[in-house]
Amino acid sequence: MLSNEQLNSLLEQTQQVAKKVGAFIRKERQHFDVRKIEHKGFNDLVSYVDKEAEIQIVDRLSKVFPEAGFITEEGTNSTKAEVYNWVIDPLDGTTNFVHGIPVFAVSIALMEREELILGVVYEVNRHECFYAMKGGGAFCNDTKITVSAAPDLSASLISTGFPYYNFELIDRYLNSMKSLMQKTHGLRRMGSAAVDLCYVASGRTEGFFEYNLNSYDVAAGALIVREAGGTVTDFEGGNDFVFGRRIVASNGQIHGEFLAVLDEFWR
């Protein structure tokens, strides 16, 4: 088991990795050619920037913590270890990146078996580095962050993601959103789950939910929300949100009410 001192050192080094790779992504966006995108599936985009960013992250983290394995979006290294594994999304918000919409991020988490112990999300355009380690609180650019104090949905702003290739459950989404539109300050769709989670952690929004996400989309942000004082669960209120593909994050105070709305349409 890593000591707090070791974990803190890893956290600092992971921040530096995320910032360096973020600088590469930012530079590439300046002259990005949309004709260079590839399609992993319908509307599931990937670019050479995603792949190169992941290669750089894996290479640097392999030197920082050689004992750890990897769970990666682009599959440049998917060698899992028994105890410690990095969970990496090199460019969360690829569609935004491709279209020049300035909301995309580098997301890196470290898991000890099934437990999240470190998370870093670097939002490339605003130069905001959100980070946390288990039991150490959550921060953005060295300033401690906490979730908002909104007491209920009526005082809340909610973020989500829209289906973009799997439309089988689109009616559930639309009905959920219709209900939430009438119960909250409104809905937002940033296009990056990692950023959405960090905005909950920093009190900019009160809640976030999405279906069909992968571990690398949510792992880092989920820990940051929890360390900022928020609550993260699956749609049933359980803990299967990293690999279970359904996540609900909130400031904690609205969580029960939030889940009740979702349960009406997703049960």
Query: What pLDDT score does 47 carry?
Result: 77
Cα–Cα dist 200/46, whole Å: 27
Q: Bridge-partner residues for 120, per DSSP? A: 108, 131
Which H helix or E strand runs over 232?
strand 231-233
Question: What pLDDT band is residue 35 in, cutting at 50, 70 and 90?
Answer: low
Calpha distance 109→188 (Å, rounded): 25
- Give dist(CA 144, CA 139) in Å, integer: 4
The DSSP bridge partners found for residue 116 are: 111
User: What average pLDDT does the segment 90-107 reach?
Assistant: 95
For residue range 190-220, list pLDDT tens digits in order: 999 999 999 999 999 999 999 999 999 999 9
How many other C-beta atoms can be found within 10 angstroms of the C-beta atom of residue 258? Answer: 27
Do 2 and 37 form a contact (C-beta atoms < 8 A)? no
The two beta strands, 69-72 and 84-92, are parallel
- The domains found in the chain, sorted by start residue, are 4-144 (3.30.540.10), 153-266 (3.40.190.80)
* pLDDT score recorded for residue 45: 56
- Give the start-end residues of each E strand in 134-243: 138-140, 143-145, 157-160, 186-188, 207-211, 231-233
Place 36 in a pLDDT band, splitting at 50, 70 and 90: low
pLDDT digits (tens, 9 = 90+) for 138-168: 999 999 999 999 999 999 999 999 877 778 8
State how far the Cα of 47 lies from the Cα of 95, in Å rounded to an integer: 10
Global pTM value: 0.95
Q: Measured between alpha carbons, how far is 128 from 126 in angstroms, rounded to an integer?
A: 5
Q: What is the mean pLDDT of the chain?
A: 94
pLDDT tens, position by position, 38-96: 765 544 556 789 899 999 999 999 999 999 999 998 888 889 999 999 999 999 999 99
Report the phi/psi class of residue 134: left, alpha or beta, with left for phi > 0 and alpha for psi in -120 to 50: beta
Report CA dihedral (49, 25, 89, 250) to the nearest 10 degrees: -140
DSSP annotation of 115: E
The amino acid occupying position 173 is: Y
Task: Write the burial class of residue 194 (CB in 10 Å: 0-12 exposed, 13-18 middle, 19+ buried).
Answer: buried
The stretch 27-46 carries a mean pLDDT of 69
